[in-house]
Amino acid sequence: MFNSKRFLLFIFLIPFFTFDAIAQNNYTINGVVKDSLSGETLIGVTLKFTASGQSGTSTNAYGFYSYKLSGGEYNLNVSYIGYKSINKKIKVNSDIRLDLNMIPENILEEIVISAEKRNDNIINAQMGVAKINLNEIRNVPVLFGERDVLKTLQLLPGIKSAGEGNSGFFVRGGSIDQNLILLDEAPVYNASHLLGFFSTFNSDAIKDVSVFKGGMPAQYGGRLSSVLDIRMNDGNKKEFTAEGGLGLISSRLKLEGPLLENKSSFMISGRRTYADAFLALSSDSAINRNTLYFYDLNAKVNYQIDDENTIYLSGYFGRDELGLSETFGFDWGNATSTLRWNHLFSNRLFSNTSLIYSNYNYVIQNFLEDNNFKVNSSIRDLNLKQDFQLALNNSHNVRFGLDLIRHTISPGSITSSATSSVNEITIEKRKGSEIAAYISDEWEVNDKLNLVYGLRTSSFFLFGPGEFFTYDSEGNTTSSRVYNSGQLVQSYINLEPRISASYQLNGFASLKTSYTRNAQNLHLMSNSTASSPTDLYIMSSNNVKPELADQISLGYFRNFMDDNYEFSTELYYKKMQNQIDYRSGTDLRGNTKVESELLFGDGRAYGIEFFLKKRFGKLNGWVGYTLSKTERQFNDIDMGEWFNAKQDRTHDLSLVGIYKAGERWTLSSTFVFNTGNAVTFPSGKYQINNRTFFSYPKRNSDRMPDYHRLDVSATLEGKPNRKLKSSWSFGIYNLYNRQNAFTIDFREDPENSSRTQAVQTTLFGIIPSVTWNFKF
Amino acid sequence: MKYLSNNYKLFIYTIAAIFSLSSCEKVIDLELKNAAPVIVIDGTISNQNENHTVRISRTIPFDSTTTFKGVKGAKVTLKSILGQSFAFTEVTDGVYRSSRFRGTPSLSYVLEVSADGKTYSAESTMPFPVVPDSVGFRTLSFFGDSNIYPVVYYKDPPKVQNQYRYILKVNDKLQGDLVFEDRFNDGNAVSDIIIFDGDIKKGDLVEIEMQTIDRNVFKYFFALSQIDGNGGPPVAPANPNSNFSNGALGIFNACTKSTKSVIVK
């Protein structure tokens, strides 16, 4: 295993060094691109150097770019959505440091068809990626008027909502835990509040959101389906600003400003819901002593030591609190922090070192005297990442690095007082490490062909201490062994090749293809149809093998009308191995032998996605449509037949329209339609002990009713040129009050016990919202 | 733990209701598939000296107005591992009854049913009995809904895995069928709160039958309860693993039982 790995690494390294040797480019141009007003660095800005051809680069996650050029004169074109393009002549006869400031423009006001090409989507070899522009989603209507990147994300093809009003999502047939959600590089294990109705990401604090649903670059790994990479704002470097909003169920406030002129700035942003304020209004003491709220806090500081060194420290803390007066308490939340150091080893070798901490835990408390107990459960990560980005020459951009993660999972410890009937139980902690190394090269082979190819080797090690059981295929214990602290229990090594290519057919159309393999060593245990904050993570082990996915995709990308319209279609096929399901009657709570309850099988997902977007003008927006199929196969379920996964939805359509109606009004609307989820309905009934029960056919062979919904919103901007900028957002969720089925339950007819009935529960009918936002 | 899970659904709906005040329920017409009838065997024997019953039926369509379609003319035999044999005779369509006898705790029993040329058999081991010390009541409130629930007090035997089943009747009407285990309270003085959908008022006659059941029977009833969302959010519904062979639905339960009746004061 190890030899073949080395050999492969060697093969991958050859092209980089040979190309470097023959490179004829003599000079390096580098720098940082920033917003001219706030001093925020800009991610993904395109820089093009035109003398001959159309070569160029783009800024990385820290706004940095580096490019090699031979001597001569170039036209530099710098473009970024939402900003005025920069065109300037540069003369290259030495290495150049060129920092750029871009002036923001209100994209909605722009009707002029821009002269320059904005066709990165065509040229770039990366596929299966979507970026969310925070300005763009500002006006997309959402539930309760709470802007939410995770919900806006679900309006893109290939990304499906896990349920009504739910911030959980499925990407190309994958489950919720197969999405890697990163906030400033720190994994967020439970990205939702209040059982899924809100995401943990407060839009105020977010600068950039990218989601990779296929063709995942080699620097990312650890999950099968997708990576959602969310970057927080650094903080305004030029002036102190405050912004916030008052909504029906929550309020937000963000403060940011410089600490040292042009050197250091900070950002702090908070949000709290006050749903329980309504509870307190009740005169019934059984209601007003309950609690139900969540809050989030994001904070970041940065310090630019010199042109070569910048340090960032960012953190997130969020918590949900639920309490029933004097009987029951339940709270959960994430805490993450990231310390980063950007360093320029040379003008073309960029380095980032990150030290990351992430913790998710929940606490359940029962205060009833004779049954009292307290459950604590957590997953904690310590993560060191070292990433290098090397501009080898104008046709090779190399990225390589290391990713070391230490996981500690405490599945649960139960404590109780002496008067309680509940025993104190602690389920053993589990410790494991993931070590990954990666290298990739973005290679402009020629004017038409672009390649990104790379390799990630991921290894996983499960360590003692603890007693580890081995189970047979029936779930019976066959052996057990006690391991000492630090003793290796099990290890896995996986090679994950990643390759994508684009071939430009002409200036406005290209074909792309990609193949990726991903491995996953953390598995979320949830045998229910909905996710819960108490869902537990386990690691790969002697019983649980790493989940694997191989995905191939093929795409056609085309821009119309001077890049005003963008169209893409992607066809994908994904094969998944070592997928997890559960035996009948499994109780995952406080289970010391969880792994004995698991079934292992395969999955497959395939589909075609269409995306058409109007990028500029008074009216803009997009249409996304996905036709897909997702199935699973387990030997112990339905005699090994393939069955529809719960993620399977044949049709999924989203329409988003944003219309700038005048100086101050913006109107927007979204419409979604999808085939109902695959579910299992009764196929008959019978009696046991005079109670009626149902018999069920093959798993997920039925469908919930089709889901559709229209939302609208209107935003009124305050009068311009005032110190205090304010706006009002009015929204209506589910405008035509569609009674979408959240659940369908079956029960005896209360009027006539010999009859049985189906009962549909609708969660959200028509819901108006209003939010007042301000900034000064 | 039970306390949490029983109320999970309530939490979701409460949260939704607080935010939207628009969560609503309605009875809908659904076209359901009708699978070919499958045999269902519901057999219980206990440590009480009584006529034990085995009910054999077939599954019926969901929208059928009948509740029980008995299978006539089946051959039902019960054997203990000690070789004792007990005969069951058909008393009405699909209902088979034994003569009076008392099951013995710790013995395994095999129930064999032959019907329509097929034989189905199941094994269940009768656990040692645990009897309730007393039954009490407790008022619990969930977001303003105050209800009275029965509480069963008993001493759990230490160092053995025990499973319990409660059958709750209020004023002679069957209200609930719940299973518990001693995973979290082994060997302790336990008070199990019987949370069910109905309501109890002062003056009601509450009857609780407490059973000790074997592991497979517990898993069967626990799986059934999970479909209703009793074990947290509902699991994907499926037929629970029956202890009968040959694809029969239902369960054979060799249990001990004792009953307590209390009037709510």
A681-725, pLDDT tens digit by residue? Answer: 999 999 988 888 899 999 999 999 999 999 999 999 888 777 788
Is the CB of residue B188 less than 8 Å from the CB of residue B219?
A: no
Place of tokens 């008995």: B70
User: Residues of A with CB below 8 A from B27's CB?
Assistant: 757-760
Does B190 sit within 8 Å of A756, measured CB to CB?
A: no
As a dihedral over the C-alpha atoms of residue A638, residue A643, residue A646, residue A647, rounded to 10 degrees, the angle is 160
Of the candidates B42, B234, B251, the beta carbon closest to that of A529 is on B234
**Strands A767-775 and A198-199, bridge-based pairing:** unpaired
For residues B185 and B7, the model is more confident at B185
pLDDT at A522: 96
CA–CA separation, A359 vs A335, rounded Å? 5
pLDDT at A283: 60
pLDDT at A10: 47
Q: Which homologous superfamily is A229-775 in?
A: TonB-dependent receptor, beta-barrel domain (2.40.170.20)
From B162's Cα to the closest Cα of chain A, the distance in A is 15
Q: State percent of chain A over pLDDT 70.
A: 92
Of the candidates A423, A589, A686, the beta carbon closest to that of B249 is on A686
Scanning every residue of chain A, which has its alpha carbon at the shortest distance from the alpha carbon of B190? A421
User: Residues of A with CB below 8 A from B240's CB?
Assistant: 584-585
User: In 10 A of CB A109, how many CB atoms?
Assistant: 10
CA–CA separation, A101 vs A110, rounded Å? 20
User: What value does the mean pLDDT take over residues A27-46?
Assistant: 87
User: What value does the mean pLDDT take over residues A557-574?
Assistant: 90
pLDDT category of residue A589 using cuts at 50, 70 and 90: confident
The length of chain A, given as a count of residues: 776
Does B62 sit within 8 Å of A680, measured CB to CB?
A: no
Domain ranges for chain A: 2-113, 229-775
From B83's Cα to the closest Cα of chain A, the distance in A is 28
User: What value does the mean pLDDT take over residues A126-152?
Assistant: 80
Whether the predicted pLDDT of A664 surpasses 90: no
CA–CA separation, A531 vs A528, rounded Å? 7
Per-residue pLDDT reduced to its tens digit, A728-751: 999 999 999 999 998 888 888 888
Does B34 sit within 8 Å of A684, measured CB to CB?
A: yes
Of the options 3.40.50.720, 1.20.1730.10, 1.10.3720.10, 2.60.40.1120, the CATH number for the domain spanning A2-113 = 2.60.40.1120
Radius of gyration of chain A (CA): 27
From A320's Cα to the closest Cα of chain B, the distance in A is 12
Is the CB of residue B83 less than 8 Å from the CB of residue A704?
A: no
3-state SS class at A397: strand
From B67's Cα to the closest Cα of chain A, the distance in A is 6
Whether the predicted pLDDT of B88 surpasses 60: yes
Of the candidates A278, A691, A759, the beta carbon closest to that of B27 is on A759
Does B249 sit within 8 Å of A695, measured CB to CB?
A: yes
Amino acid at A112: V
pLDDT category of residue A577 using cuts at 50, 70 and 90: very high
pLDDT category of residue A289 using cuts at 50, 70 and 90: low
pLDDT category of residue A515 using cuts at 50, 70 and 90: very high
Does A195 sit within 8 Å of B231, measured CB to CB?
A: no
Name residues whose C-beta falls within 8 Å of residue A140's C-beta, 6 or more positions apart in sequence.
A147, A152, A155, A656, A658, A668, A670, A713
Does A696 sit within 8 Å of B239, measured CB to CB?
A: yes
User: What value does the mean pLDDT take over residues A188-200?
Assistant: 85
Mutate: best of B23, B58, B59, partner A, most A CBs <10 A: B59
End-to-end CA distance of chain A: 59
User: Residues of A with CB below 8 A from B140's CB?
Assistant: 327
Per-residue pLDDT reduced to its tens digit, A437-486: 999 999 988 888 999 999 999 999 999 899 999 999 889 999 999 999 99
From B118's Cα to the closest Cα of chain A, the distance in A is 19
User: What value does the mean pLDDT take over residues B66-87?
Assistant: 92
Size of interface A-B (CB pairs under 8 A): 243
pLDDT at A460: 97
Among B107, B128, B122, residue whose Cα is nearest residue B216:
B122
Q: Which of A103-117, A219-233, B128-142 has the highest mean pLDDT?
A: A219-233
Is the CB of residue A391 less than 8 Å from the CB of residue A68?
A: yes
User: What value does the mean pLDDT take over residues A188-201?
Assistant: 85
pLDDT at B23: 65
- C-alpha angle with apex B197: B195 to B203, nearest 5 degrees? 80
Q: Which fold has domain B39-125?
A: Immunoglobulin-like (2.60.40)
3-state secondary structure labels for all residues of chain B: CHHHHHCHHHHHHHHHHHHHCCCEEEEECCCCCCCCCCEEEEEEECCCCEEEEEEEEECECCCCCCCCEECCCCEEEEEECCCCEEEEEEEECCEEEEEEECCCCCCEEEEEEEECCEEEEEEEECCCCCCCCEEEEEEEEECCEEEEEEEEEEECCCCCCCEEEEEEEECCEEEEEEEEECCCCCCCEEEEECCCCCCCCCCCEEEEEEEEECHHHHHHHHHHHHHCCCCCCCECCCCCCCCECCCCEEEEEECEEEEEEEECC
Mean pLDDT, chain B, whole residue set: 87
Scanning every residue of chain A, which has its alpha carbon at the shortest distance from the alpha carbon of B238? A696
pTM (2 d.p.): 0.88
Q: What is the DSSP string of A695-744?
A: E--STT-EEPPPEEEEEEEEEEEPPTT-SSEEEEEEEEESTT-----SEE
Does B189 sit within 8 Å of A421, measured CB to CB?
A: yes
User: Residues of B with CB below 8 A from A328's CB?
Assistant: 3-4, 7
Of the candidates B22, B183, B240, the beta carbon closest to that of A584 is on B240
pLDDT at A691: 85
Domain ranges for chain B: 2-19+128-263, 39-125
Does B238 sit within 8 Å of A584, measured CB to CB?
A: yes
Is the CB of residue A192 less than 8 Å from the CB of residue A492?
A: no
Does A685 sit within 8 Å of B62, measured CB to CB?
A: yes
Does B177 sit within 8 Å of A589, measured CB to CB?
A: no
Of the candidates A531, A689, A755, the beta carbon closest to that of B177 is on A689
CA distances from A149 to A165, A630, A655, B171 (A): 13, 25, 16, 54
User: What value does the mean pLDDT take over residues A67-73?
Assistant: 83
pLDDT at A452: 92
Place of tokens 């900028």: A725
Is the CB of residue A170 less than 8 Å from the CB of residue A629?
A: no
Helix (H) or strand (E) holding A667: strand A665-674
CA–CA separation, A36 vs A42, rounded Å? 10
User: Residues of B with CB below 8 A from A286's CB?
Assistant: 141, 143-146
For residues B228 and A97, the model is more confident at A97
| Torsion A165-A167-A170-A175 (CA) sign | negative
End-to-end CA distance of chain B: 28
User: Residues of B with CB below 8 A from A759's CB?
Assistant: 25-28
| Torsion A418-A422-A423-A429 (CA) sign | negative
Of the candidates B33, B141, B234, the beta carbon closest to that of A286 is on B141
Per-residue pLDDT reduced to its tens digit, A637-661: 999 999 999 899 999 999 999 998 8
Per-residue pLDDT reduced to its tens digit, A602-637: 999 999 999 999 887 888 899 999 999 999 999 999
CA–CA separation, A49 vs A76, rounded Å? 5
Mean pLDDT, chain A, whole residue set: 87
Local structure of residue A676 (DSSP, 8 states): P
Does A532 sit within 8 Å of B8, measured CB to CB?
A: yes
CA–CA separation, A309 vs A305, rounded Å? 5
User: What value does the mean pLDDT take over residues A81-93?
Assistant: 86
Per-residue pLDDT reduced to its tens digit, A401-448: 999 999 999 998 888 888 888 888 889 999 999 999 999 999 988 888
Q: State percent of chain A over pLDDT 90.
A: 49
Of the candidates B5, B23, B35, the beta carbon closest to that of A684 is on B35
pLDDT at B139: 83
Whether the predicted pLDDT of A144 surpasses 60: yes
pLDDT at A18: 45
Does A759 sit within 8 Å of B28, measured CB to CB?
A: yes
Is the CB of residue A208 less than 8 Å from the CB of residue A44?
A: yes
From B4's Cα to the closest Cα of chain A, the distance in A is 8
pLDDT at B108: 97
pLDDT category of residue B233 using cuts at 50, 70 and 90: low
Of the candidates B40, B174, B189, the beta carbon closest to that of A690 is on B174
From A700's Cα to the closest Cα of chain B, the distance in A is 8
